[in-house]
Structure 1
Amino acid sequence: MKNTLGLLLTVLLLGCQTDSTLAPSKFKTIMIKSVGEVETLPDVATFQINLNCLQKSVKVSKQCLVDKSNELNSKLLSFGIKQDDILTTSVNMNKSYTWRNNSQVFEGYNSSITIYITLRDINKLDQIYTELLENRNLELSSLAYTHSKLDSLKNEAYVDALKKANTLTDKLLTELPASEKEILKIGNVEISASMPESKEQLEQDGYAVAEVAAQNRSIAISKGTVLIKATLFVEYQIK
């Protein structure tokens, strides 16, 4: 009889342990998508230079391009631009034609080189652009602005995103039957929510995904400033 009771008690205890292990913990969560922003003045400019030489023979056109590109490189160095910030991206040579009297007329051989410039002293931009435009063999294009410390500015944008997420969650708590929050997950890519209850039940209880601001965008220029945005996904447990 004692052996039977002992076996029965053991089975009951194991049953209780199994039930507690399988039963999911009941808690509520809120997922916040937040976009942080940092706006600052640019301190770096980038642009492209296209240098052309049109001559009647291949040999003369090639030599013209060599001479003109060497002159241009010396000019750029004299502006204080470092050699590492002068990048040749393409060199081409093609036959050039023009349309005259309803027929194509051969003009010569057009050799060209494209150079990508990074100007780290943005205060010199007006002077450099003006002098380069005076060269009839040059074409300038693709002027853009950026900042030399994008990584640190991006980190500041993430901090701003977290602050916004915390502020929004605090406001939501004033409208919900909860008063405390705790961060469960945080990431800069979309994360899955820790939802022990069904999605339908969460929506009935009024706890759904909240979104702050718009989708993350790449660096853009607005009113003469560089705008850096960073997106965070933050999941909170509330109680």
Structure 2
Amino acid sequence: MKNKIKNSAVIFAILIAAIFTSSCATERFGREMRTVSVIGTGVVSIKPDQATIVMSVRTSNADLQTAVQDNAKKMNSVQQAVLSVGLSKDDISTQNYNIHREYTWENNRQIFGNYRVSNEILVTVSDIEKAGTLIDTAVKAGANEFSSLNFGVSDTTGAVEQARILAMEKAEKAAKILATTGGASIGKIVSIQEDYVPYNDSARMLNDGMLMSAKAAGPTPINAGNTDISVTVHVTYALQ
């Protein structure tokens, strides 16, 4: 008899514990579900403060040595011209050097042509106002191909911080509107996730029109414009 009473007491205690645990879990689960998730995006527009220009000297001759020497002479002139604009040697770096021979096929025969030599350099300009003058000067010195012009920002730290603040403000505003419309109010932040794509320089191709302008008497017009720094946040708020 005593064993039956003891067993019944144990079973009763287990049932009470199970009910209590289930009740707590349900309450906790319910609280966790009372949230609102929103997205906020902050955009800050800033002006680039530096530019990089990729330029090349290309030469061609039936004699390899002549093509190489001609290219070296012109590239030396181009680099001296770059320095004359106020840049330093540290602002110039070689990107590519290539030698190949032209050829065609006639009657299943390979006909060789001239040797082509290409020397490509990357020039970094800290003062964008000098970009147009740099292009003009380089062309007159012998540069005959420009691959790209990139505008960049040397330090985006401040802009990113501002974009984050704007993103969080927009997220909070959206959460308040949703919560109020649903008859609730927002509480503490439960989670924050940031989507920030590191800033990439904006590349622009230098076309033949710009090259012709550089050869003419007038200066080559260069306008950096503005670039946007964007940060997006995913924020979850507790509802009250």
TM-score by length of 2: 0.73
Of residues 134, 142, 148, the one that matches 1:142 is 148
Is residue 132 of structure 1 aligned with residue 138 of structure 2? yes
**Matched residue SS, 1:230:** strand
Partner of 2:22: 19
Measured in 1, the distance between the counterparts of 2:184 and 2:141 equals 70
Residue in 2 aligned with 1:203? none
Partner of 1:59: 65
CA 1:151–1:217: 2 relative to 1, 3 Å = closer
Deviation, structure 1 residue 112: 0.5
Q: Which runs of 5+ in 2 are unaligned?
A: 105-109, 204-222
Deviation, structure 1 residue 57: 1.0
Tell whether the 8 Å contact from 2:78 to 2:143 is kept in structure 1 after alignment. Answer: no
SS in 2 for 1:160: helix
Structure 1 runs of 4+ off > 3 angstroms? 1-6, 82-85, 104-107, 215-223
From the superposition, tell whether residues 175 and 18 of structure 1 become closer, same or farther in structure 2 (CA, over 3 Å): closer
Report the CA distance between 1:106 and its aligned residue. Answer: 6.3
Deviation at 1:169, TM superposition (A): 1.5
The corresponding residue for 2:122 is 116
Equivalent residues in 2 for 1:159-198, closer than 5 Å:
159-189=165-195
**2:225 matched to 1:227?**
no
- RMSD of Structure 2 on Structure 1 (CA): 3.3
Alpha-carbon displacement from aligned partner over 1:72-120 (angstroms, at most 9, x marks no partner): 333323333343432222111122469xxxxx99662110011122211
Q: 1:47 to 1:158 in 2, by over 3 A?
A: same
SS at match of 2:184: coil
- Residue 62 of structure 1 aligns to a residue whose secondary structure is helix
Tell me if structure 2 keeps the 8 A contact 1:216–1:231.
no
Partner Cα distance (1:33, 1:43) in 2: 31
Q: Which residue of 1 aligns with 2:6?
A: 3
Q: Secondary structure at the match of 2:53?
A: strand
Q: Any gaps of 5 or more consecutive residues in structure 1? A: 99-103, 191-214
Which structure is higher in helix share?
2
